[in-house]
Structures are given as C-alpha cells and as structure tokens.
Amino acid sequence: MRNKILTSMLVGAALLTGAESNAQQPPSANLDSIPEKMPFSVPYGAPIGAQRAQSLIQAAVAEALKKGWSMNIAVVDSGANLVAFLRMDGAQLASVSVAEHKARTAAKYRRPTKAFEDAVQKSDYKYVLSLDDVIASRGGIPLIEDGKIIGAIGCSGGTGSQDEVVCTAAASLINKSGP
C-alpha cells in the first residue's frame, strides 16, 4: 500500500512538472518572417589601434575592481583579430578563451552577444547555436565609431550580467549616444 501511495505521488508530481514546463514554453519562432530592413548592418570601419584597445582594457579593469570582480578582458579589431588582452589576478582560466570568443562574435556578427543569448533563451531560436563561431552569452559588445564598427570588447569571468556591466563601462568610451 505504501509503495502504491509513493508511486502515485511521484506520477502526480511528474505530471504537474510536465504541465508547468509546457505552460512556460515560449511560442514557436517564426523563422519565415522577412524583415523589411537588414538587421545589424553597421558597416565595418578601420580597425581599432593598440593604444585605444589598451585604454578600453584599463576602463574595464577599473570597473571590475570597483565591483570586486576578477575578469578576463579582450579587445579585437574590426576583422575580429585580437589586439589587446588582460587576465586580472584571480580570474578563472576557462574565461580566457570565452572573453576572446565574445569579442570575436560581437565584431563578426555586428551585434552584442546578448542578442544571441536572447535569441536562444527568450525566443527559442535554437538554430543560432548552429552558426559558426557564435557564443550565446552576454559580455561581448561591438565598438562603433562614426557609424562604423572598429572592433569589439569581450569580458568573461563572472556571471553574464557581470561580464556585460564591465564591457559596457569600457565600450562607453567609444560607443557614445547622441550627436
């Protein structure tokens, strides 16, 4: 009798869990919709130089130190080639290549890596994971000057949102809004 009760409880719990997960599924992605304008079509410009890339690294380090976070920070040029890199003391080793990957993805695809994270997590666009050299994790931001991409910055070592905060602080030296 006790086993029947336990079995009934487990089956009931499984059904409830299955119903909840089905209820929380986002609507299917409509990959057949055709936008009128090309998204993320910022043109590529002249590559960022080493001195400017180093200044971005220092801005990112300043933000990370202010927060008490150890980060890996990479800056790539408009061709997605590494220009500058810094691993802060104590930053996790696995994040070295992740920071570079985020920067490369942001430059190559002309958009913040958060766009890929949102595509997978919020819109259920799983096909994004099949694109070459994509990382679907925030913390990669294109650097846009005079309407052209001159490079990108990628940060890794914390949570995605921490990585994004550090990158945004540094990218704001170049990515200015307004006239």
In a domain, 177, yes or no: no
Query: Does residue 94 sit within a domain?
Result: yes
Does the residue 25 lie in any domain?
no
Is the predicted pLDDT of residue 110 greater than 90, yes or no?
A: yes
Model pLDDT for residues 75-94, shown as the tens digit of each residue? 999 999 999 999 999 999 99
Considering the chain, what percentage of its residues have pLDDT values greater than 70?
81
Q: What domain range is 56 assigned to?
A: 50-171
What is the model's pLDDT at position 38?
79
Instruction: Please write the tens of the pLDDT for every residue from 136-169.
Output: 999 999 999 999 999 999 999 999 999 999 999 9
CA distance 167 to 56: 9
Residue 135: the pLDDT is 95
Whether residue 23 lies inside any domain: the answer is: no
* 37-72 pLDDT per residue, tens: 877 889 999 999 999 999 999 999 999 999 999 999
**Does pLDDT of 19 surpass 50?**
no
Which pLDDT belongs to residue 114? 97
Give me the percent of the chain exceeding a pLDDT of 90: 70
Question: What ranges make up the beta strands (E) of 18-120?
Answer: 72-77, 82-87
- Note whether residue 44 is domain-resident: no
- Residue 136 structure tokens: 């679907």
Helix%, strand%, coil% for the chain, nearest 5: 45, 15, 40
Q: Which of 26, 83, 81, 25 is nearest to 54 (CA)?
A: 83
In a domain, 96, yes or no: yes
Q: What is the pLDDT of residue 5?
A: 45
| Higher pLDDT pick, 35 / 137 | 137
The tally of domains found in the chain comes to 1
* Residue 17 covered by a domain: no
Q: Give the CATH number for residue 78.
A: 3.30.450.150
Residue 111 has pLDDT above 60, yes or no: yes
Residue 58 in any domain: the answer is yes
pLDDT in the model for residue 37: 83
Rounded Cα–Cα distance for residues 89 and 1 (Å): 60
